[in-house]
């Protein structure tokens, strides 16, 4: 059965930080060696692409804090560079160095990269605001979808961007109209 590789559609992959040296320094068919090199490079570089203590504040139109509301924060895009030379093993410069086989079937390194991009290197948070209407979290740079839900069943969605430079303090004003 063919597994879909549609998660690659629309994924922005540029630069050369984390993964290209993994293929160069290990036999591409040695999945454990490639994965170990990926993780070594990731440990060295990934902290450059995080920000800590993002303060998120929710207030109503009068400036009162929205207390004890449920907040869901989901990262919807990444902002860190990756360079992988060769998608498939078909006509690749290094035999066996692709993410998928010549028949376009995902290889274990493909599955590992997908897990890193969509699970480990992505910020997802479910929490509740405190008495000041705030949440603080640590996240990766990129675009976020923020959803606030009250106990009364009201909800509102927002978008926010966690940037490399500048203050990362998000303030949202709730409009229940």
> Global pTM?
0.62
Give the domain ranges of the chain: 6-174
Task: For residue range 33-60, list pLDDT tens digits in order.
Answer: 666 676 676 666 666 666 656 888 888 8
Q: How confident is the model at residue 68 (pLDDT cuts 50, 70, 90)?
A: confident
Give the C-alpha distances (Å, rounded to integers) separating 48 from 35, 168, 175: 20, 15, 36
Task: For residue range 71-110, list pLDDT tens digits in order.
Answer: 888 888 776 666 777 788 888 877 788 888 999 999 888 8
Q: How many CB atoms lie within 10 A of CB 111?
A: 13
Residue 37 · residue 30 · CB < 8 Å: no
Q: How many CB atoms lie within 10 A of CB 8?
A: 15
- CATH 2.60.40.1120 correct for 6-174: yes
């Amino acid at each position: 059965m063919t597994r879909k590789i549609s998660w690659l559609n629309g994924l922005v992959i540029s630069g050369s930080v984390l993964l290209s040296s993994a293929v160069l320094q290990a036999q591409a068919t040695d999945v454990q060696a490639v994965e170990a090199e990926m993780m070594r490079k990731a440990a060295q570089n990934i902290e450059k692409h995080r920000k800590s203590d993002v303060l998120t504040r929710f207030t109503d139109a009068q400036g009162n804090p929205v207390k004890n509301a449920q907040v869901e924060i989901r990262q919807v895009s990444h902002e860190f560079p990756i360079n992988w030379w060769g998608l498939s093993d078909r006509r690749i410069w290094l035999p066996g160095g692709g993410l998928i086989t010549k028949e376009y079937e995902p290889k274990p390194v493909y599955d590992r990269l997908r897990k890193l991009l969509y699970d480990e290197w992505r910020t997802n948070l479910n929490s509740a605001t405190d008495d000041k209407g705030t949440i603080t979290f640590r996240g990766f740079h990129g675009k976020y979808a923020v959803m606030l839900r009250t106990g009364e069943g009201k909800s509102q969605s927002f978008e926010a961007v966690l940037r490399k430079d500048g203050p990362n303090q998000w303030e949202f004003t709730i409009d229940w109209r």
